[in-house]
Amino acid sequence: MSFSHLGLSDKVIGAIDAAGYKTPTPIQEQAIPHVLARRDVLGIAQTGTGKTAAFVLPMLTMLEKGRARARMPRTLILEPTRELAAQVEEQFDKYGKNHKLNVALIIGGVSFGDQDMKLVRGVDVLIATPGRLLDHSERGRLLLSGVELLIIDEADRMLDMGFIPDIERIGKLVPFTRQTLFFTATMPPEIQRIADNFLHNPVRIEVSKPATAATTITQLQCAVGREGHEKRDTLRRIIRAAENFKNAIIFCNRKREVALLHKSLVSHGFNAVALHGDLDQSARTAALEAFRNGTAKLLIASDVAARGLDIPAVSHVFNFDVPHHPDDYVHRIGRTGRAGLTGTAISLVAPIDAKSVQAIENLMGMPIPWIGEPAKAEAAEATGGEPRPNRRPPGERSSERSGEGRSSRGGRNRGGRDRQPRQDAAPQEQVPLEAKAPVEQPQPHVDQAQPAREQPRHRPDSRHEPKRQPEKSPVRTSQPQPKREPAAEEPDGSHLPAFLLRPVTIKSA
Ligand code: AMP
């Protein structure tokens, strides 16, 4: 199957050729003809399957007819985070290079005035986060009654971030007769309910990301005490000793920890940037750009801020905090070892993390070797320190949401924004990191298991901390693992990665 059989316009085919794509991915092959036939589509697919082009390409074809009117966008794409919205805009630049369409990005953290000017000029494609979209609508600066095509992307993450009430409000502002494309990585009951409300007789397309992305990741864990400064000290030593170090993402469970760790690393001379939901948009953009272009060697991030982002392969992933859910672990380590490159993922494990580590090892189907002595699980029991639950108490907000969302009363949530000083995320003038003397590591290699899906879940607070434990020094590893095959994936867009060719199931929902 080639792109020319899908019904796309010549201009779009020209842009696809220029992008170097030879074959549509399964979701593109299955979805594009239905989108062009004006059917509603329920796409169960996650990032990495080519789902963005599955809606962008037919949209471009359809938008060739007709014109935009002032303040009345013709199409609307809803994204849960500003970064994802910006990524979709980039795809319009790439695939729409032969078109003269007005594409507007309406996201929080940037000036209303510029966005308003774009809306006045007339918008063919409006890409928005729900909160800022409603802000414009409530001010009377935006009319959604002209929307012919609505796309709800990453619906399960919208749920995770508390956006569903906003999505439902937006649903009442767009015409009943519009076409709707609905994408989600998972289908929990709440998402099924929203899909049922939004879609009319949809075509259901389900693609899975394979569990066999051919990559090589060395996984290790290192015991640490519970005290923050001890963990930070251990992390610094591990980074400095890392072999083949190029750059790293360091994951923390909470954005407060991200900010703290970032400050600490910068003060110790590392060129690091931070990414979390409390940063304003310019700081987030600057941080990502600095990491992408190599100015910054370390990106300290929370899961929610980093999810779905197109961050190039990194040599190392560090889990400063062990994630509470094993799927998050798989997702995090999948940031390294991409496209056939080798990568290393090292987790700092405190005694309280024992059960989380057990769940991770169960999911991975293997023990993760220790650098040095294993963490002592009994300390967690001594303090009554059960691993924290996966769900927040009712009514408690997601820690990431405060930077993006709206209050439960429907008002704008301003409290979370701009709390973080700008300089925290700006690229720092620091000594570049270099790989130094190695820790004694046999470097066991293991398969990378792709995350089966990016599951929404609530982030717990840290309440039950264990008693302080003496820190173990990272000197010894154990249990070498078998090495796996090299990658079949190509790093550039000129070659279709094998995983994108997995089969789909399609049926009417
Ligand atoms: P997405 O799932 O939309 O985030 O896309 C994942 C990656 O696959 C992006 O970097 C796209 O540029 C790339 N991609 C999308 N469609 C194709 C295709 N047909 N052939 C090769 N690469 C593609």
**What residue owns the CA closest to ligand 1's atom 12?**
493
**What residue owns the CA closest to ligand 1's atom 8?**
50
Query: Residue 98 and residue 14: Cα distance in Å, rounded?
Result: 8
Atom number, ligand 1, closest to the C-alpha of residue 494: 21
Domain parsing of the chain, residue ranges = 3-206, 217-408
Asked whether 23 and 496 are in contact (CB, 8 A), the reply is yes
Distance from the alpha carbon of residue 48 to the mean position of ligand 1, in angstroms: 6
Distance from the alpha carbon of residue 191 to the mean position of ligand 1, in angstroms: 25
Distance from the alpha carbon of residue 52 to the mean position of ligand 1, in angstroms: 7
Distance from the alpha carbon of residue 49 to the mean position of ligand 1, in angstroms: 7
**What residue owns the CA closest to ligand 1's atom 13?**
50
CATH number for 3-206: choose from 3.30.43.10, 3.40.190.10, 3.40.50.300, 3.30.420.40: 3.40.50.300
Distance from the alpha carbon of residue 75 to the mean position of ligand 1, in angstroms: 22
- Per DSSP, helices labelled H in 308-420 are 326-333, 354-364, 378-382
Torsion sign (Cα): 184, 189, 190, 193 = positive
Atom number, ligand 1, closest to the C-alpha of residue 23: 19
Please give all residues whose beta carbon lies within 6 A of any atom in ligand 1, as ranges: 21, 23-25, 28, 47-53, 493, 496
Rg (CA), the chain: 23
Atom number, ligand 1, closest to the C-alpha of residue 45: 2
Query: Residue 284 and residue 217: Cα distance in Å, rounded?
Result: 28
**What residue owns the CA closest to ligand 1's atom 21?**
496
**What residue owns the CA closest to ligand 1's atom 15?**
50
For residues 56, 145, 41, 32, the Cα torsion angle rounded to the nearest 10 degrees is: -30
**Cα–Cα distance list, 116 to 112, 120, 310 (Å):** 6, 6, 28
Distance from the alpha carbon of residue 167 to the mean position of ligand 1, in angstroms: 26
- What does the buried/exposed string (b/e) look like for 328-354 if buried means 16 or more CB atoms within 10 Å of the residue's CB? bbbbbbbbbbbbbbbbbbbbbbbbbbb
Per-residue confidence (pLDDT) for residue 49, from 0 to 100: 81
Q: What SS3 state is found at 175? A: coil
For residue 7, with 0-12 CB atoms within 10 Å meaning exposed, 13-18 middle and 19 or more buried, which class applies? middle
Per-residue confidence (pLDDT) for residue 306, from 0 to 100: 67
Distance from the alpha carbon of residue 17 to the mean position of ligand 1, in angstroms: 13
Distance from the alpha carbon of residue 474 to the mean position of ligand 1, in angstroms: 39
Per-residue confidence (pLDDT) for residue 308, from 0 to 100: 66
Per-residue confidence (pLDDT) for residue 46, from 0 to 100: 75
217-408: CATH homologous superfamily? Answer: P-loop containing nucleotide triphosphate hydrolases (3.40.50.300)
Mutation choice for ligand 1 from 208, 450, 496, 501, CB with most ligand atoms inside 8 A: 496
* Interior angle at CA 162, CA 159 and CA 164, nearest 5: 60
Distance from the alpha carbon of residue 244 to the mean position of ligand 1, in angstroms: 28
Name the residue type at position 54: A
Closest by CA position to 481, among listed 224, 241, 242, 216: 216
pLDDT tens, N- to C-terminus, the chain (509 residues): 799 999 999 999 999 999 999 999 999 999 999 999 999 999 998 777 889 999 999 999 999 999 989 999 999 999 999 889 999 999 999 999 999 999 999 998 888 999 999 999 999 999 999 999 999 999 999 999 999 999 999 998 898 888 999 999 999 999 999 999 999 988 888 899 999 999 999 999 998 654 433 357 889 999 998 778 889 999 999 999 988 899 999 999 998 999 999 999 999 999 999 998 788 878 888 998 999 899 999 999 988 666 766 677 789 999 999 998 887 888 788 788 765 567 899 999 998 999 999 988 887 778 899 988 777 764 443 333 333 333 333 333 333 333 344 433 333 333 333 223 223 223 332 323 332 323 333 333 333 333 332 333 333 333 333 333 333 333 233 333 333 333 332 233 334 444 444 444 444 44
Unique residue bearing structure tokens 């970064």: 83
Mutation choice for ligand 1 from 1, 28, 47, 52, CB with most ligand atoms inside 8 A: 52
Distance from the alpha carbon of residue 149 to the mean position of ligand 1, in angstroms: 22
Query: Residue 339 and residue 494: Cα distance in Å, rounded?
Result: 13
- Cβ neighbors of 275 (< 8 A, separation 6 or more) are 258, 284, 287, 288, 299, 300, 301, 302, 305, 306, 425
Tokens of 204: 């259901």
**Cα–Cα distance list, 371 to 173, 355, 484 (Å):** 56, 18, 21
Per-residue confidence (pLDDT) for residue 244, from 0 to 100: 87
Per-residue confidence (pLDDT) for residue 416, from 0 to 100: 32
**What residue owns the CA closest to ligand 1's atom 5?**
50
**What residue owns the CA closest to ligand 1's atom 19?**
24
Q: Do domains 3-206 and 217-408 have the same CATH topology?
A: yes
Per-residue confidence (pLDDT) for residue 209, from 0 to 100: 54
Asked whether 346 and 222 are in contact (CB, 8 A), the reply is yes
Distance from the alpha carbon of residue 165 to the mean position of ligand 1, in angstroms: 30
Closest by CA position to 435, among listed 216, 248, 231: 248
Distance from the alpha carbon of residue 31 to the mean position of ligand 1, in angstroms: 14
Distance from the alpha carbon of residue 370 to the mean position of ligand 1, in angstroms: 36
Atom number, ligand 1, closest to the C-alpha of residue 46: 2
Query: Residue 119 and residue 136: Cα distance in Å, rounded?
Result: 10
**What residue owns the CA closest to ligand 1's atom 16?**
50
Q: Within 10 Å of residue 30's Cβ, how many Cβ atoms?
A: 24
Per-residue confidence (pLDDT) for residue 238, from 0 to 100: 94
Mutation choice for ligand 1 from 3, 4, 12, 25, CB with most ligand atoms inside 8 A: 25
**What residue owns the CA closest to ligand 1's atom 23?**
50
